[in-house]
Amino acid sequence: TFYTTSDAEVTVEDATFKSAKQMEDASAIAVCSSDDYYRIGDLNNDDNINSTDMFYQLNAYKIAEDDPSLITVERNGLTYVGLSTVVANNHKAKYGLIEDAYAMAGDGNTDGVIAYDQEQLIISDVDNLAYYVARRGAGYKTDLNRYGFRYGEYESLTANTNLF
C-alpha cells in the first residue's frame, strides 16, 4: 500500500506549526517583558546589554563613591564596599539612573550592591559586566559570565521582596 499527502495538507500543517511556534515565542517575550521582571545587566531597560549599561553602572558607583554613600558588605570571606541597589533604586535621579529601569540590574551576583574592585574581580559587578559585554560583542554564545555572575538573565521582581 502506498500513501500520499497532498501539498495543500502539508502546507496547512506547516503553517499551523509555525503559527503555534510564533505564539509560543510571543508568549515568552510577553512574560519576560512584563513589569514583574528585569534583565540583569540592563540598566537602561532596553532589553539589550551593552556599553550604555556599563556607563550607567559605573557612573552610579562613582557618584556614590564621591558622596560617600557606599556600604560595606562581607561575602565569601571578602569585605568590600558597594552602592546599595535599594538606595540607588529609591534615588535614581541622584545616581544618574533611568527612571523606568531597575538599579538591581547592576547587581550581577545578587549581593545587594553594585561593587567595583579591580583587585577582587570575584565581587566586582562593574568589571564582570564589562567582561559580559566584551564576550557578547566578540560573538561568544557561551561562557559569558564568570564567578557566578548572572548578567543577561531575567529576574522576577515579585520573587524577591527585599528589592524595595
pLDDT tens column, 61-106:
999 999 888 999 999 899 999 999 999 999 999 999 999 999 999 9
**Strands of the sheet with 71-75, listed across from one edge:** 71-75, 78-84, 113-115
Nearby residues of 84 by Cβ (< 8 Å), 6 or more positions away:
69, 71, 112, 113
Confidence (pLDDT) at 67: 86
From start to end of 21-92, where are the E strands?
A: 37-39, 71-75, 78-84
Q: Express as a percent the part of the chain with pLDDT over 90.
A: 69
- Whether residue 35 is predicted with pLDDT greater than 50 in this model: the reply is yes
Q: How many CA atoms lie within 13 A of 73 on its CB side?
A: 22
Confidence of residue 6 (pLDDT cuts 50, 70, 90): low
In 10 A of CB 19, how many CB atoms? 10
Q: Which three cell numbers stand for residue 127?
A: 568589571
Beta bridge mates, 38: 155
**pLDDT tens per residue across span 119-148:** 999 999 999 999 999 999 999 999 999 999
Rounded mean pLDDT of the chain? Answer: 84
According to the per-residue pLDDT averaged within each range, which of 65-79, 100-114, 149-163 is highest? 100-114
- Separation of alpha carbons 70 and 94, rounded Å: 14
| Alpha-carbon span 32 to 36, nearest angstrom | 8
- Cα 26 off chain centre by: 20
Domain ranges of the chain: 37-163
Q: What pTM value is reported for the model?
A: 0.76
pLDDT class for 50, splitting at 50, 70, 90?
very high
Amino acid at residue number 69: S
